[in-house]
Structure 1
Amino acid sequence: MKKVITFLFLVSFGITQAQQAFTGKGDTKVNVGANLQDGGSGIQGSIDFGLGENFSFGFVTNYLLGVDNFNGFYHNNPTPYNDLKPKFQDRFDAKARINANLSSVIGVKELDVYPGLSLGLRNFGGHVGGRYFFTDGFGVFTEIGFPIAKYSANNDVFDHLNNQVTFSLGASFHL
């Protein structure tokens, strides 16, 4: 019972003390969290700079820490791969992005919902995310990213790692 009361207190305190999630021009947000996807998991970091009331640009980078090794045949190659490990360039991805920050549009200043587009090393894609700030400097975020157009001919065993739907969640900071 004490755990339930403590949890309810923390949730109600977080809601009543929540701060504005996106303030517009000059606003800077940093996200750090876990990146979850098929075939691996890792870390994601991003930074967004406010350009206007509902518009921001930024950068995002992912690095996959835990990746499944590959065993078997790939693309009609007669030689099987045996415990093939991905290289650094297979695990890493970086993108520039733009966001439409919708907190003022939806009328909830503590929640920043931001759909956007990204242009990266491996694809042109989109994302939809959300940030909720408990205090002026700290909040949480979640984000789903997806490729729209891939640059690769899919000839490498690990091309799929940074060309698929990803889910991220973690902490968000206001600078």
Structure 2
Amino acid sequence: MKRGLLLLAVLLTMGAVNAQSFEGKGDQKLQIGANFQDNVNGITITYDYGLGENISVGVVTGYALNLNNGLNADFADRFELEGRFNANLGSVLNISDNFDLYPGISLSLKNFGGHLGMRYFFSSGFGIFSEFGTTFAKYNSDILTPAEKIHNQFTVNVGAVFNL
């Protein structure tokens, strides 16, 4: 009897630890990570909110901390704020309950762009993410200065993701 109760407790605990990468409507994710671009390294923070079974919207902010190769930039060039729309395809691809692949589009202070991201959860509340972003159309159609290229070029983000 005691072994049966112990086995039941272990199975219930294992079931609770099983992570869910995207749960659909009402799901909330917070991502904190590093941002890498040409001549720039910085930080990025993302919040996503599930609107439906495979759709989420969110907001992203970032700041360029480390400027390389003598690049000078003021706050407006270093700061980024964008809204975004994601198609969460983890359940469609059915690779793992812990994995989510999410392509999406974004509208920022500097451009219209797109991204492709991946999340993997180790537990119900914690995981890692990586995200690749690019610009489709820049608001400034002139030749950009090196400082204006910050957050206006191909980017790579990596970091931690949390279920809220």
* Normalised TM-score (structure 2): 0.85
Q: Which amino acid aligns with 2:80?
A: D
Match of 1:39 in 2: 39
8 Å CA contact 1:139–1:171 kept in 2: the answer is yes
Contact residue 69 and residue 85 of structure 1 kept, 8 A: no
Which whole-Å CA distance do the structure 2 matches of 1:145 and 1:138 have between them? 23
Residue type at the aligned position of 1:116: G
Aligned length: 146
Which consecutive residues of structure 1, in runs of 5 or more, have no partner in the other structure? 1-16, 71-83
1:145 aligns with 2:128: no
Root mean square deviation, CA, Å:
1.3
**CA–CA separation in structure 1 for the residues paired with 2:145 and 2:38:** 16
Q: Residue in 2 aligned with 1:100?
A: 87
Gap regions ≥5 residues in structure 2:
1-16
- Which among 140, 144, 154 is matched to residue 165 of structure 1? 154
Question: What is the one-letter code of the residue matched to 1:97?
Answer: R
Name the counterpart of 2:22.
Answer: 22
What are the residue-to-residue correspondences of 1:97-136 with 2, within 5 Å? 97-107=84-94, 108-136=96-124
Per-residue Cα deviation, 1:8-28 (whole angstroms, up to 9, x for no partner):
xxxxxxxxx551100000000
Q: Could you tell me which residue of structure 2 aligns to residue 9 of structure 1? A: none
Q: Distance in 2 between matches of 1:173 and 1:149?
A: 31
Q: SS of the counterpart of 2:31? A: strand
Once the two structures are aligned, what percentage of the paired residues are identical? 49
